[in-house]
Structure formats: structure tokens, C-alpha cells
Amino acid sequence: MNNFRKELKLPFKRIEVAHILVAVILLFNALVFTEHQTAFIIQIVLGILILLHHIDDNILKDSIIKYIDKLNENNNYQETLTESNHNAIIAINKNQEILTFNKKAEIIFGFTKDEMIGKKNLNLIIPEYFIEHNGETSSFQADDTTHELTGKRKNGDVFPIRISFGINNKSTIFIANISDITNEKEAEDEQNRLVKEIENTQIEVISTLGTAIESRDKSTKYHVDRVSLYSKKLALLYGLDEEEAEKMKLASPLHDIGKIIIPDHILNKPGALTKDEFEIIKSHAQAGYDILRRSEREILQMGAIIAYQHHEKWDGTGYPQKLKGENIHIYGRITAIADVFDALSTPRIYKKAWKSDKVRAVLIEERGKAFDPVLLDLFIENYDEFLEIKNSLL
């Protein structure tokens, strides 16, 4: 060891000064500076020390240079990582000055590095990053979650971005990782459009089916459309939520779909039906159920229940199953009132339209007999509104 020191021909003092300086800088690196800043400072100090002949110890010089190389390597590695990132990487310090603005950020936002680095320009590209609070502007609270905000390009175009923040506690630098999600959102919109298209197609097919059935029954123009609207309204009055009530609106036009199996001469017979003919008419409830029950679609399943139970009566004297009270599904109970109200208040091939007071009296008479008393009360309380629906679709 002594030989080694002799060979160096260096006073310990000078080496110690250099050691202490580097140690202090390293300490600052750990506490305050970024590695990049540390490497820069060490290079300056080293240069000064060499100039002042404080260091002619090659071993110490080598070790310091190796340390700088390592830091530079690390910085290069980080820079490569930042530059090659598929997302925009923007680092800002606590004064909201931009420190890093990678290539992808240039592409996404249309600003160059020169226009952004060292400037407080983040509000130009992510206006939502700054929040007005009690008249003061503060920055968006960075946290571990991902946010969907609006980005702004240099040309003024706005577009959706997904942003997540990383926080370097040591240097209070925020690193924002930003992706342009315009394509993703467009794909999502297209997906939603397709889903909506399918839903609309279903609705149209169901409605067309209801109308096709209706068209065979020559005296019931708009009958299914009106039943559909009464059913939704009564469902809402009863307390079903908007979504379920809307589904009732879509499904109730199918209530008479089973009439497809009823021969024309019975369906459109002007006079009274014989007992056998009436039995044939009654079979439309079971037939409708059989047509719809195999479907897994929610609205068609609802339609199956309605087709099956819309002629059941609260007191158990209806058909086809003679269900009683709440054993009849709420969909069936609702459509039953809607169907009878419409049948009485509009003309049929075998009768004229009844006056609205007479219809109301008959409905009240059937309270607790044909109809659920709770539903019937709701219907009567809002009778004028149901009449309005009827008059709007004659």
C-alpha cells in the first residue's frame, strides 16, 4: 500500500479534498439533483480540480470518469427509453416548466421540443391539467390513476388523451405519460353505433311483426302501437324503472302474435263468435307464448310472458292458465288493462267505439275481477292521459 502511494507521489491532502468534493456532490445527488445534473456538476468540478492540479491521481481520475460514464450511460438509457416510447412523455418540474418533451409528444401535439422545453406551456396542450379553484389556478392533482382528458394540438384541434402521472419525489418532477386515444374512441363509438344499430333492428323487427299481425285483424288499426304506449305509461306509474318500462313498450306489441294461427274467417268475423270459434281465438295466447319462449332475447322473453298472460284475470277466471292475483306476471297484468281499454274505446269490426265514460265505468266495474286493483286505480287516476294517447293514435 505504501509503495503504491509512493508510486503516485501524491500528498494525501489533495486526494482527500477531491474525495470530499465528490462525496459532497454524490450526497447532493442523493438528496437534490437528478443524475443528469450530478454528472454535469462532477464534470465541471473535475475539470477545475485538474486545472488547479489538485488531481493528478490517475486512479482517482479513472474512477471518477467511470462514474460519470456510468451516469451518462444511465441518462442515455433513460433518454432512449423516453424517445422510443410509443406514448408522449412530458416531464415538468415543480415550477411547471417542461423538462422533457419526447418525439411522440412532438407528433401528438404538433409543438417542437424547442417550443416547449424550459417553458411553462403545459396549459397549451393539456388545458384541463390546470384547475380554476377559488379564482386561483392550481395544477391537476397527480395520483396513481389514469385519467381521460382532452389534449390540444398546436393547430387548435382537440382530441381525447389518456394520461398517467409518475412523481419523482427526489426532484419533485412530474412525468406525464400520455397517449392519443382518438382511434380508440372512434372504435368505441363505432362499436356503440353497431350495438345501437342491432338494437334498433330488433326493435324494428318486433314492431314490424306486431304490425303484420295487426294488419290481418282489419279492425284494429294502431291497436298494438297504442297498447305499447299505454303499457309503458302504466308500468312507470306502477313504479317500474324507465328501462323496464321502455322494454315493456317494445315487447307489448307482440301480445297478439299468436293470432297468426287464427284463420281469417274467425279473426275477422263481423258477428258473434260461436263457442268453438271463441275457443280457437283463445288459443292465440298459448300460440304466442310458444312462438316467443325459445328466444333468449330479453324483449322477446318479455313478449312471451305478455302473449301468454294478457288474457288472465285477477280473480282467476281468465285464460289460458286461469292464473290468479299476483301469480299473473306484472307484465301480463299491465298489458291486460291496456288491451281491454283499447278494445273498448276504439271501433272493432263487430262494434263501434264506446264513449270514454262508459269505458271508464266498465274498467272500474272490473277492479279486482279482471284487473289488478292497484294497477286499475293508477289507470283511472290518470285516465285523461291515457285518453290523450288514444286520441293521438287513431
Give the catalytic positions in this structure: 259
Cell of 163: 394520461
d(CA 139, CA 288): 62
Among residues 27, 77, 21, the alpha carbon closest in space to that of 45 is found at 21
CB closer to Fe ion, 339 vs 372: 339
Number of residues that bind Fe ion (CB under 5 A): 2
Contact assessment for residue 260 and residue 291, using Cβ atoms and an 8 Å cutoff? yes
CB of 338 to Fe ion, least distance (A): 9
CB of 282 to Fe ion, least distance (A): 9
Identify residues 251-290 at the interface with Fe ion (CB under 5 A). 256
Identify residues 167-206 at the interface with Fe ion (CB under 5 A). none
d(CA 352, CA 360): 16
- Tell me how far CA of residue 111 lies from CA of 35, 114, 115, 354, in angstroms: 27, 8, 6, 75
CB of 303 to Fe ion, least distance (A): 13
CB closer to Fe ion, 159 vs 222: 222
CB closer to Fe ion, 98 vs 257: 257
Stretch that binds Fe ion, among 19-27, 85-93, 105-113, 249-257 (CB under 5 A): 249-257
* Strand partners of residue 130: 139
- Residue 217 binds Fe ion (CB under 5 A): no
CB closer to Fe ion, 57 vs 339: 339
CB closer to Fe ion, 87 vs 231: 231
Cell of 243: 328501462
- Residue 339 binds Fe ion (CB under 5 A): yes
Cell of 56: 493528478
CB of 375 to Fe ion, least distance (A): 17
CB of 214 to Fe ion, least distance (A): 9
Give the relative orientation of helices 12-31 and 58-83 as an angle to the nearest 10 degrees.
Answer: 20
Residue for cell digits 264506446? 354
d(CA 304, CA 274): 27
Stretch that binds Fe ion, among 41-49, 151-159, 184-192, 332-340 (CB under 5 A): 332-340
The helix, strand and coil proportions of the chain, stated in percent and rounded to the nearest 5, come to 60, 10, 25
Q: Where does this chain bind Fe ion (CB under 5 A)?
A: 256, 339
